Structure 1
Amino acid sequence: MNRFVKLLNFELSRFMKIYLVLIALTIIVQVVGVIVTANSYMAEANKMIYEEGLSQAQFIQQYRSMSFLRFARSLWFMGPIAVCAAALLFYIFMIWYRDWFGKNTFIYRLLMLPTARINVYLAKAASIVLMVLGLVSVQLIILPLENSVLKWLVPIDFRSDMTVEQVVGWDYLSILIPQTFTEFILYYGAGFMAVSVLFTAILFERSFKWKGILLGIGFVAISGVIMLSPLLATVFMDHYYLYPLETLGLEVVLGLLVTAVSLWMGHYLLTKKITV
């Protein structure tokens, strides 16, 4: 366990500078965005009321009152989240390939450490999960700040106030910030499964080169078909025999199976097919 923790700390420290930039980008862009969005709304309100002669009630009826969701649907809010998601998706691949293509082929030094090779695999996977959770935590922390800035800039007569709980229960935010512990386990368990599948696909490529690309793509495709099999059953069968709760249970079992196979195959490739 101590060696695993050291490997995990090592992986986190290697990405920390970029990770801090992502956090700073999210905070700065979103705070600036809520200011710009609120000021833009009030500028439009002043123009329509004082120049076009609309009453306050007519303006609100035509343009609707300002709420946090207006900002949450804007590029100011979604843009940093998309950038962070893209950066971490790219890092899923870079976390392996930089060790192979670095100046000293660092992967061989990692695999020669006096610890089980699966710890290298798990440390890399855990670092991805922890960074995702860290970014989500930052988002959850700054939401009340952004909500307060919005209330400060927009008079109460022009806005519809929302609590942070209402905000995080909206659309894609309810996936990033689950409402219950069960949803948290399901959503982030699915995320860990996806990471493990991609890691194993990468190891197929590293183990078998060009043939490994096809093997990796095939592994990802088979994993996807397994997870989608309950949905595919509803398409090809005239009658679907499982209730929603039973379908959810089946998906959980299939997810655990795909994750277990991915971990086992990744361990096999690291120990049997990648030599140092």
Structure 2
Amino acid sequence: MNRYLKLVNFEMGRFIKIYLILIAITAVVQIIGVIVKAKTYMAKADQKIYEEMMSKSDFLDEFGTMSMMDVAQSLWLMAPIALCVVTLIIYIFLIWYRDWFGKNTFIYRLLMLPTNRLNVYLAKATAIFLMVLGLVSIQMLFLPLENLLLMRLVPDDFQTNVGVFEIVHNHRELAILYPQSFIEFVLHYGAGFMAVFILFTAIMFERSFRWKGILLAVLYGGLSIIVFVLPFIFMMVTEHPLLYPLELLGLEVLFGIMITAAAIWVGHYLLMKKIRV
């Protein structure tokens, strides 16, 4: 366990500079977005009220008040989040391939450590998961701070103060990142963790068999997806809801656990028996 934790800490340390840059970009872009949206709204209010002589009540009836929802539904908030998501997806591959193609072919030393190679596999997956949770948590801290900034920039008569829960609840993408119940959290992030293990094992196929491994990786990934959605496919073919929603949910959870366990087992086998460094 101690060696596993050291490997996790090591993998986190290797990504920390990019991680901090992602956090900084997210903070800067979203703060700029709040300022721009607030200034744009107030400029429109000044134009309508003071230049076109529209009454305040008429302006509010036509354009509504300003709230954090206006920022949340814009690219100012979602673009940095998308950047973080894309970066982490790329890093799922980079966390392995840089060890092979880096300057000193670090994979030689990594796989020769006096520890089970499964610890290397699990440590990389854990590092990815912790990075995801870290960025999600930091974004949750940013939302109320950005909301506070918006309230400072917009006069009380022109603003509607909304809480973080309301922002998340009424935003489709944010609702995925921030599930409203523990069960949804397990489902969303469990599916994401399963996808990470599938990709890790697909990489092990490619590293073990090279060009043939690419085909095996694609077949393995496709088979994993088919197995996971098999209950839905069966219900679509039969055109009859043979399972109640809770039964379908339980079956999907069971399949997800089986697929994840299989991915770890196959990945460990390839790493121990087939991998070439």
Q: What's the TM-score bracket when you normalise by the shorter of the two chains?
A: over 0.9
Equivalent position SS for 1:179: coil
> What amino acid is the match of 1:28?
V
Question: Is the 8 Å Cα contact of residues 208 and 276 (structure 2) preserved in structure 1?
Answer: no
Once the two structures are TM-superposed, the CA of residue 193 in structure 1 deviates from its matched residue by 0.3
Equivalent position SS for 1:219: helix
Question: Is the 8 Å Cα contact of residues 207 and 276 (structure 2) preserved in structure 1?
Answer: no
Partner of 1:50: 50
Equivalent position SS for 1:172: helix
Partner of 2:82: 82
Equivalent position SS for 1:35: helix
Q: Say yes or no: does 1:239 pair with 2:240.
A: yes
How many residue pairs align between the two structures? 276
Q: Say yes or no: does 1:18 pair with 2:18.
A: yes
Partner of 1:262: 263
Once the two structures are TM-superposed, the CA of residue 60 in structure 1 deviates from its matched residue by 2.1
> What amino acid is the match of 1:231?
F
Any residues of structure 2 matched to 1:205-220 within 5 Å, and which? 205-220=206-221
> What amino acid is the match of 2:131?
M
The 1-side partners of 2:109 and 2:120 are apart by: 11
- 4+ residue segments displaced more than 3 Å: none
CA deviations on 1:67-103 (whole Å, 9 max, x unpaired) are: 2111001111001000000100000000000000012
Question: Is the 8 Å Cα contact of residues 198 and 263 (structure 2) preserved in structure 1?
Answer: yes
Identity rate, percent: 58
CA deviations on 1:129-184 (whole Å, 9 max, x unpaired) are: 00000101110111111011111111222222211121122322122122222222
Partner of 2:223: 222
The 2-side partners of 1:169 and 1:125 are apart by: 29
The 2-side partners of 1:238 and 1:122 are apart by: 40
CA deviations on 1:33-63 (whole Å, 9 max, x unpaired) are: 1111111111111111222232222222222
Deviates more, 1:190-199 or 1:46-55: 46-55
Question: Is the 8 Å Cα contact of residues 117 and 267 (structure 1) preserved in structure 2?
Answer: yes
Q: TM-score, normalised by structure 1?
A: 0.97
Any residues of structure 2 matched to 1:39-118 within 5 Å, and which? 39-118=39-118
Q: Say yes or no: does 1:124 pair with 2:124.
A: yes
Partner of 1:179: 180
Deviates more, 1:60-69 or 1:76-85: 60-69
The 1-side partners of 2:159 and 2:103 are apart by: 56
The 1-side partners of 2:46 and 2:69 are apart by: 21
The 1-side partners of 2:45 and 2:235 are apart by: 50
Q: TM-score, normalised by structure 2?
A: 0.96
Once the two structures are TM-superposed, the CA of residue 252 in structure 1 deviates from its matched residue by 0.4
RMSD: 1.2
> What amino acid is the match of 2:270?
L
> What amino acid is the match of 2:259?
V
Q: Say yes or no: does 1:199 pair with 2:200.
A: yes
The 2-side partners of 1:30 and 1:238 are apart by: 46
The 2-side partners of 1:16 and 1:116 are apart by: 25
> What amino acid is the match of 2:30?
Q
The 2-side partners of 1:74 and 1:24 are apart by: 19
Once the two structures are TM-superposed, the CA of residue 275 in structure 1 deviates from its matched residue by 4.3
